[in-house]
Structure 1
């Protein structure tokens, strides 16, 4: 070898030494007998500070290790042998320096020299900071996951290919309840929608595409969850990175209870408006109807006083009694109306024969009651439970109407009462042959204070109370009538025994 060639080799060795010294990694070169060919200062000082081993060129690294750390020696021998077999490996080691752990990533790789011998190159770098960041990221991800899983709303994220990036526990549970499908990250979210729901898949495709174009969305859907129809408010938010939409975040909130509460409040508000309107009418009509008989009594008393011979006193007293009875009947209707509105339902077992007889007995002294024949047909196939006092109100009103509005031109006035009871309900039908109701008034008779004409004898509250009672009992009432032939009231009342 010429002097020039020796000079060139020296130059290249200097360049190589300069390179490995300036490298960010710690570098060690070994021959196939594990002797140190070269190393930079980083590798030298790491072994000095960690193990107290001074590495020198030309010495066996394994022999140097053996003197102070037998376990480390076996570990490095195994790693070097793997590298010599042609398989590059990467490992992570933990070193403790001054009571603090340092993490190192170490690469072992072999390469061949021109003469056929092999060199083992070992590169290591400090990844302590990276490991700390990774640990922090993992901790933050765990904290975020914990937060997501404690949120009652469903949350899921997709990328621009509709692939499911992530989701929380609530979305996983709700989706499985709705479709029996187990969600998997990386799956196409549209492909997870059952095949028998193509319209739903197309609906969500449009929503996702709209969101991925950068447009937030807000939707309301109804889904069947465990046989319960649930209502959800769904919001979509684009994920934007450097001005580009890279995905979509969805939030779904169950607003079923809120919606039901709002509907209930709306219904209650409408009911309150209706009640206030009826109350205004009630106050106006009641004050007029209460005052009329009192003024009549007052006028009759003045006439008695002014009649010097008192010859017509009995007649006046009869008129006074009639006004007082009318007033008493009106007040009784008001009490029944109030009782039905404010009292809870108090179900008990009903004997319809007993109930009917009590109603007829209470009305026996009513004018004309003895001229109306009652025809009963009661078939009770099962025990029946309902509110006794409310049913009595219904019977009293219907029977008294049959008496008051009987056709006096007929010799055989009657009221036919048919009652059929089974386990689910009671069907009652009251049919009379009275004067009947004009067709134009049939759909108005259940309104408060409605009177078909000025000669009507009642307070105008009776049938209004009947309808209110039936609504309270969750029953129904219908009426059929023809002038001159009679009227039939039909009731259906649920059985509360079950």
Structure 2
């Protein structure tokens, strides 16, 4: 080696010595025989405190370590040999000082000096604080994951390319149930939507684009989950980093039960408004109709008192009886109306022959009943179950109407009753050849207290009660009529067989 080369080596060593002394890391330089070329104070004190080994320039690292720890000697020799082979190596060591655990990251690398000597450089740094932070981060992520997976709502995150960053178990489960697709991180969320659902894919593409522009979104969707229609409230929130939108967080909440409850409350409110309106009308009309026959009775009683002719008393008493009968009929209708509105359905097997006969027998003493011929046709194809008392109310009202509104000028006055019942439903038709109903009144006859004119008989509650009873039985009623020819009421009631 020339003098110039010796000078270059000396300059190189001085420069390196200056660098390692000022370095923040712990630095050790070894030659190819594992002797210490140089080390800084940091490395010296780490070895002294950790292993009780005092390293000096020129000392053999392996011999110094062998005197203290045989296993550690072999471990460090293997690391240095790997570095000498030209392969850098990085390891983490754990050791204890004064009852506290420390972590060190150590780098081994070889290089060749200008004089051709191979040098092993060993850099170490304390990563105890970093390891603690990493542990906290892992624990935090585990806690967050645990929280996300216990939430009933679906949560997923996508990046700016619509790729899945993460998702919770609920979203994974519901997505698989809805589309048969297994989610995986990194996959394009739009590509996971089945090919046949083009409209759905475009809908979600628009939502993601909207959110990635920094605008939160709120949507309502209905999906089939496990063969049941479910309603979801979906919210999207942009993920912003350093003022830039980098992704989107999506929350999906099942609001099916809430929606059902809201719909039920809405229906109940509408029903309550209807009931209140009907109640107001009922109180007004009922008080008028109840008072009218009472005032008539009162007036007739005064006439009896004032009229000295006792021969007229029979006529007065007949008129009083008529008013009392009307009043009794009206009160009976009110009782039926009240009973229908508050009583639960009590299904039992219906014998339509018995039901029809009971209804006709109860009305045979009604004025004009003997003049109306009944035609019966009953066909039962299976056991039919319904509420007997409500069916009797329906039959009584429709049969009494046929008698009350018969056409007395016709020689043959009839009421034809046709009943067909099977395992699904009962179809019942009441057809008479009475006076009929004017067309303009057909859509009003089922309203409370409706009367076509002042001469109309009855309380005006009969058909209202009929319709209410049929609705309680979840059935339907239709009417067809022609003035002067007759009327047909067609009823359909479902079988409540248990």
- Quick check: TM above 0.5? yes
- Relative to structure 2, which stretch is displaced further, 398-407 or 70-79? 70-79
1:481 corresponds to which residue? 481
- Relative to structure 2, which stretch is displaced further, 237-246 or 99-108? 237-246
1:317 corresponds to which residue? 317
- Relative to structure 2, which stretch is displaced further, 464-473 or 48-57? 48-57
1:412 corresponds to which residue? 412
1:235 match: secondary structure: strand
Preserved CA contact (<8 Å) 2:432 2:486: yes
d(CA) in 2 for partners of 1:150 and 1:74? 49
d(CA) in 1 for partners of 2:277 and 2:25? 89
Please list the CA deviations of residues 26-59 of structure 1 after superposition, one character each: whole Å capped at 9, or x if unmatched.
1222233323232222222111111111223333
d(CA) in 2 for partners of 1:20 and 1:348? 100
1:101 corresponds to which residue? 101
Please list the CA deviations of residues 268-327 of structure 1 after superposition, one character each: whole Å capped at 9, or x if unmatched.
111111111111111111111111111111111112222213102222211111111111
d(CA) in 2 for partners of 1:5 and 1:158? 61
Instruction: Tell me, yes or no, if structure 1 residue 335 matches structure 2 residue 345.
Output: no
d(CA) in 1 for partners of 2:270 and 2:214? 41
1:442 corresponds to which residue? 442
1:42 corresponds to which residue? 42
d(CA) in 2 for partners of 1:431 and 1:63? 120
d(CA) in 2 for partners of 1:313 and 1:408? 30
2:166 corresponds to which residue? 166
Please list the CA deviations of residues 406-452 of structure 1 after superposition, one character each: whole Å capped at 9, or x if unmatched.
11112221111111111111111111111111111111111111111
Cα deviation for residue 188 of structure 1 reads 1.3
Cα deviation for residue 371 of structure 1 reads 1.6
Instruction: Tell me, yes or no, if structure 1 residue 470 matches structure 2 residue 470.
Output: yes
Cα RMSD for the two superposed structures: 1.7
Preserved CA contact (<8 Å) 2:9 2:114: no
Preserved CA contact (<8 Å) 2:88 2:110: yes
Cα deviation for residue 230 of structure 1 reads 1.7
After TM superposition, list the pairs within 5 Å mapping 1:376-395 onto structure 2. Answer: 376-395=376-395
TM-score normalised by structure 1 residue count: 0.96
2:396 corresponds to which residue? 396
Instruction: Tell me, yes or no, if structure 1 residue 491 matches structure 2 residue 491.
Output: yes
1:431 corresponds to which residue? 431
Cα deviation for residue 335 of structure 1 reads 0.6
d(CA) in 2 for partners of 1:305 and 1:347? 54
Please list the CA deviations of residues 235-281 of structure 1 after superposition, one character each: whole Å capped at 9, or x if unmatched.
22222222221222222222222222222212111111111111111
After TM superposition, list the pairs within 5 Å mapping 1:153-192 onto structure 2. Answer: 153-192=153-192
d(CA) in 2 for partners of 1:117 and 1:376? 123
1:217 corresponds to which residue? 217
1:451 corresponds to which residue? 451
After TM superposition, list the pairs within 5 Å mapping 1:70-109 onto structure 2. Answer: 70-109=70-109
Please list the CA deviations of residues 157-209 of structure 1 after superposition, one character each: whole Å capped at 9, or x if unmatched.
22111111122222222222222222111111111111111111111111111
d(CA) in 2 for partners of 1:264 and 1:210? 34
d(CA) in 2 for partners of 1:258 and 1:6? 88
Return closer, same or farther for 1:321/1:273 CA change in 2, 3 Å cut-off: same
d(CA) in 2 for partners of 1:365 and 1:481? 27
Preserved CA contact (<8 Å) 2:35 2:61: yes
2:310 match: secondary structure: coil
Preserved CA contact (<8 Å) 2:9 2:115: no
Cα deviation for residue 470 of structure 1 reads 0.9
TM-score normalised by structure 2 residue count: 0.96
Instruction: Tell me, yes or no, if structure 1 residue 364 matches structure 2 residue 373.
Output: no
1:444 match: secondary structure: coil
2:443 match: secondary structure: helix
2:129 corresponds to which residue? 129
d(CA) in 2 for partners of 1:415 and 1:81? 114
1:443 match: secondary structure: coil
Q: Unpaired runs of 5+ in structure 1?
A: none
- Relative to structure 2, which stretch is displaced further, 292-301 or 78-87? 78-87
Preserved CA contact (<8 Å) 2:26 2:43: yes
d(CA) in 2 for partners of 1:199 and 1:496? 42
2:442 match: secondary structure: helix
Cα deviation for residue 2 of structure 1 reads 6.7
d(CA) in 2 for partners of 1:215 and 1:88? 49
1:82 match: secondary structure: helix
Preserved CA contact (<8 Å) 2:34 2:60: yes
d(CA) in 1 for partners of 2:2 and 2:239? 68
Cα deviation for residue 6 of structure 1 reads 4.7
Instruction: Tell me, yes or no, if structure 1 residue 276 matches structure 2 residue 276.
Output: yes
Preserved CA contact (<8 Å) 2:153 2:251: yes
1:15 match: secondary structure: helix
1:60 corresponds to which residue? 60
Q: How many residues align?
A: 498
d(CA) in 2 for partners of 1:8 and 1:490? 118
Please list the CA deviations of residues 51-95 of structure 1 after superposition, one character each: whole Å capped at 9, or x if unmatched.
111223333322222222122122222222222332222111101
Cα deviation for residue 115 of structure 1 reads 6.3
